[in-house]
Amino acid sequence: MFRAVSTSVRFPEVEDQILQFWRERSIYAKSLQQRAGAPRFVFYEGPPTANGLPHPGHCLTRAIKDLFPRYKTMRGFYCERKAGWDTHGLPVEVEVCKELGIHSKEEIEQYGVEPFVQKCQQSVWRYMREWERLTERIAFWIDLSQAYVTYHQSYVESVWWALKQLFDRGLLYRGHKIVWWWAQGGTALSSGEVGQGYRQVADPSVYVRFPLADDPDTSLVVWTTTPWTLPSNTFVAVHPEFEYAVCRDEETGHRLIIAAELVEPLAAKVKRQWKIEKKIRGSDLVGQRYLPPTDNYYRKYKDARGKLQDGTEIPLYWRVVPADFVTLDSGTGLVHIAPAFGEVDYELLVADRQRFAEDGPRPELLCAVGPDGKFTSDFPEQQGVWVKDADRAIIRQLKEAGLLVLVDQYLHDYPFCWRAEQDPLIQYPRESWFIRTTQYRDEMLKNNSLIGWLPENIRDGRFGKFLESNVDWALSRERYWGTPLPIWQCEATGKQEAIAGYDELLNKPGVQGTEVWEQARRENPELVEDLKVHKPYIDAITYDSPFAAGARMRRVPEVIDCWFDSGAMPFAQWGFPHRGRDRFEQNFPADFISEAIDQTRGWFYSQLAISTMLFGEEHPYPHPFKNCIVLGLMLAEWYESKDGKQRFLTEEEARQKLGKNYVLKTGKMSKSLRNYRSPQEIFDTYGADALRWYFFANQPPWSSIIYSERAIRDSIPEFLLRMWNVLSFFTIYAEIDQFAGPAEIDGSIEQLTPDELSLAPTYRPVAERSEMDRWILSELSSTCTEVVERMDRYDSFGACQRISALVDAVSNWYVRRCRDRFWGPAKAQESEDKADAYWTLYEVLLELTKLVAPFVPLVSEAMWQTLTGSVASRVRESVHLCDYPLGDPQRCDRLLAERMQVLREIASLGRSARMEAKLKVRQPLQRVEVSLADATHIEWLREHDKIVREELNVKEIEYNAGNSPYIEYQILPNFKLLGPRLGKRLPALKKALGEADGATLVQQLQENGRLTLQIDGQELELTAEEIEVRLKAKPGWTAAQGRHCVVVLSTELTDALIREGYARDLVRYIQDLRKQNNCQFTDRIVVFLQTDAAEVLEAIRENQDYIAGETLATELRINSEPPSDTPATKIEIAGHEVLLAIAVVSPAS
């Protein structure tokens, strides 16, 4: 038998009970055991870093990563879910530096590399418990006990193997390039890391005169937003094909050379009159010598000259050079070239050097900035000053020298260190290790083209464009905590070789240095064994050089980009190829991965690049993943005082403190602003499933998601509570009527499928049941089919929309229309119709529980336990051990579905029309008219007009297939669509539509799908999208229009109708009082009413039977005192005070 479930539910408490149940019964492990040997569904976990607290964004990623493996498991696949931890790199180092109160590399080395590395290793587990708690609480089933860890020796050696493959194939090389440089941290960053740190800044925008050497009164005008690079100026670039103007400044007398196209806008900015004296081509400027804006290098190199390959001698520096990259989009058309601080500038220097004779002097790289980002003695005026801090002083120096034409501000996006948000990056010349990814650009694009991206535009958009603009991967980091670059170099010859594993290293001839690690372990036995393959211990290991007798091979000092670590996880998680070869082959490529959109330049790219280079020829594309859901950004929602000084997370808090003086804000999540609630607080208040459903059902996962406590709270009654209330309704009446359900079945039952339920003696074939039962089972079946189709396409949002529609159909139509069947006096076993109702609703709830299980796994489990309690020992102990429902095509009745859809629309439109007229549903109305767009179902609707009368509380209903005489149509043009097409003819169209008979136009549109009009003597055709139809009811009526019909309600109220409305108001008050008094659903009551209002008394007497029947009252005692122990409540009906009391009839009476 069933036990009644209360509608007063606290989902967090329910979820805690389910989590305990899962732990005690090892349900996750059983879900894997049950599918052992089945086809595999492979999922890769993108490894988070556990040295920072999890935030709401991690809830979204962990929810979506749980959803599809759960679904696929219920669909019969075997899905291992191996967790992982990203433990290397800047994220860890930065946190440890904060803890130690240090920042720079010098401070780290003063502290000591060995203790620093040890602290990094300990730091990565700092918030492990919080991560484990979040993972369990959000119901993310994943194996944390067997997680891969990027600092583990097996993982590091797998990465070493990959790097050796690249090195041996000439793809891993050391080169001198301009890199994005984190000066405070002393290391280069990859393009993916750089891409994560951009934000808008205001930099100084300066226009500077560079006087010509042989004519100081004539100057080149250049523009830059990095004044700090001017002391390292080497050339000025012009486009040889552009036209340049020599202008005279009437105020100063200076001649200025600027691109002709840009003279006028720049003169307007400067507010000067510049007279163009002549125009020349850029090619005429090439080779001219100028004076640099600062003389720090000029003093030393002003006379430096070199011979070109043709024997011509020219100055090495401060010449005008040609360049095709010069544009007229902004600036002056003359570009300041500082090769030390720009990749394009550096390439120009390299090209210029190639013009010179090999055995003579060539222009060298001028760089007045050190690796710490501070000026060196090469620019003594600002020596020791951080470059960005020197901008003002340099601008002042230019002004004093009379070289400053204009200073302004320039808003643009600029990169900062992705893990040290206050540190701007600079482009800087550095010798680093690179991977030649550009050689595989076409292969990566081919691989990418076959991946199932959601949304699809990522393939050719954000990700595809990133691949098209691919540059070689800046791999090495001049840091400490990371996978050591496995390159050993001969100290005599400089020749190098790569090592693929620690054992390979120890087997080298003459190996020395292992004692450093052994000594460290003796001094501190708690050191984890994995540290031996890290700095500084690995650096101590040397061996005999195969390249020079007597020489030693020593490891290069760099570690690698931690994104290479995470990108290697498809094979490194198994220790491949040193071990785990079979596991790798079984789990490659992944069927599904998902992370946020910022990973397009991070984990998505690193995986694809590594896999393409290593396995491209062995495995058919796509790999290493087949499908990827790219999650949108998560934004915070909060309330703020108008002065921005106070913030609140709910509107109630803001209103309480500020009255109306607050504004709603949406923006980036910020720890410093504290503009979001922690996940644990959401779990404790609303539950994890509420958060999960909000994520899944509110928008496609790739849209930006607002982490709104208000929206999370509001979504609960729309779905979870609605579904729970249906469960409660069923169990309450099943307990009252002693409905046995599956306990009737003698045969084998496991999952309580429809076939298993049909074994029950009182379970009748669906075809023999009522139309309402057949309809809801048809809806259930079609929903299951569509949800499977959508989930197989990774369309979780579409699946949720369909499930929501089903829950609405069950709750707001089936249960409401069938209440009387459950309320009837006969027991279920005494009435076929009542038994049918129970079996139908029970089956719907069972299948719905399975259907929603991947989405809301905790609440669905609670529902399963409730629904199967009487046969718990005979069925699968968890809903997550069941098969996913696929639907039964034979139960899908398309005609009935169409008819019921129209019927439900009529009821919905009728309620909308009432709301428009401010007529509550409890107030009876005389008449409703329904004008159908299609008369196909009109006879069926007439047969069911009782349903509409009850739903809309009307006395009469009339159906027709024409236009109602009680409404008017106003037809307007869609200005946005028609404006470009019609232009000046649009007002004439508007006039013609306004003068035409709206009903006739609507009929024409319904019959033909388009309108044909004569405008200014010309025939014009309009589609349905090009017009807007507005509906207006005539006086005495209210109307609403939908897809299938127009519903028109009479708003005229007779005295009898008004009194009936009073009676219905009284019923609502009595029902509320029953709830307040905790009456049982079957309790019979006596109602006591006291009032002097004649119209209220008349309403009660006229509708006495109705009132008693609706409230289970055995007697209405009018103007009778209730017993002394029965308190009366004051209510108001029709503006009159009424005293109301109820008393439960005792069994003895």
Q: Is the dihedral of CA 910, 911, 913, 917 positive or negative?
A: positive
Catalytic site residue from 12, 47, 204, 570: 47
Q: Do 101 and 581 touch, CB atoms closer than 8 A?
A: no
Catalytic site residue from 85, 563, 638, 813: 563
End-to-end CA distance of the chain: 29
CA dist 814 and 776 (Å) reads 7
Q: Give burial (CB, 10 Å; 0-12/13-18/19+) of 1071.
A: middle
Structure tokens at 48: 């988070």
CA dist 293 and 316 (Å) reads 17
Catalytic site residue from 603, 638, 702, 1037: 603
CA nearest to 163, candidates 698, 548, 567, 703: 567
Helices (H), 104-152: 105-111, 113-123, 128-137
Which DSSP letter does residue 985 get?
Answer: G
Q: Do 471 and 548 touch, CB atoms closer than 8 A?
A: no
CA nearest to 675, candidates 12, 55, 134, 50: 55
Can you tell me whether residue 181 is helix, strand or coil? strand
CA nearest to 403, candidates 546, 531, 294, 512: 294
Alpha-carbon separation of residue 686 from 692, 708, 797, 865 (angstroms):
11, 12, 21, 21
CA dist 572 and 187 (Å) reads 25
CA dist 631 and 797 (Å) reads 12
CA dist 113 and 947 (Å) reads 80
Whether 607 is a known active-site residue: answer: no
CA dist 77 and 84 (Å) reads 22
Whether 671 is a known active-site residue: answer: yes
Q: Do 120 and 536 touch, CB atoms closer than 8 A?
A: no
Catalytic site residue from 399, 465, 642, 668: 668
CA dist 340 and 60 (Å) reads 43
Q: Do 18 and 57 touch, CB atoms closer than 8 A?
A: no
Structure-derived torsion over alpha carbons of residues 931, 937, 943, 946, reported in degrees to the nearest 10: -50
Q: Do 88 and 485 touch, CB atoms closer than 8 A?
A: no
CA dist 865 and 854 (Å) reads 16
Catalytic site residue from 382, 599, 607, 1041: 599
Length of the chain: 1149
CA dist 837 and 833 (Å) reads 6
**Amino acid, single-letter form, for residue 260:** A
Residue 633 CB neighbour total at 10 angstroms: 15
For residue 17, give every residue at least 6 positions away whose Cβ sits within 8 Å of its Cβ, in sequence order, or none. Answer: 862
Whether 918 is a known active-site residue: answer: no
Q: From the CA atom positions of the chain, what is the Rg in Å?
A: 39
Whether 47 is a known active-site residue: answer: yes
Q: Do 34 and 881 touch, CB atoms closer than 8 A?
A: yes
Catalytic site residue from 671, 918, 946, 984: 671
DSSP secondary structure string for all residues of 571-582: HHTTTTTTS-HH
Whether 1130 is a known active-site residue: answer: no
CA dist 75 and 767 (Å) reads 28
Catalytic site residue from 12, 56, 86, 888: 86
Can you tell me whether residue 926 is helix, strand or coil? strand
Which DSSP letter does residue 883 get?
Answer: P
Whether 388 is a known active-site residue: answer: no
Q: Give burial (CB, 10 Å; 0-12/13-18/19+) of 376.
A: middle
Residue 997 CB neighbour total at 10 angstroms: 13
Q: Give burial (CB, 10 Å; 0-12/13-18/19+) of 385.
A: middle
Whether 599 is a known active-site residue: answer: yes
Can you tell me whether residue 28 is helix, strand or coil? helix
Which sequence positions are flagged as catalytic? 47, 86, 563, 599, 603, 668, 671
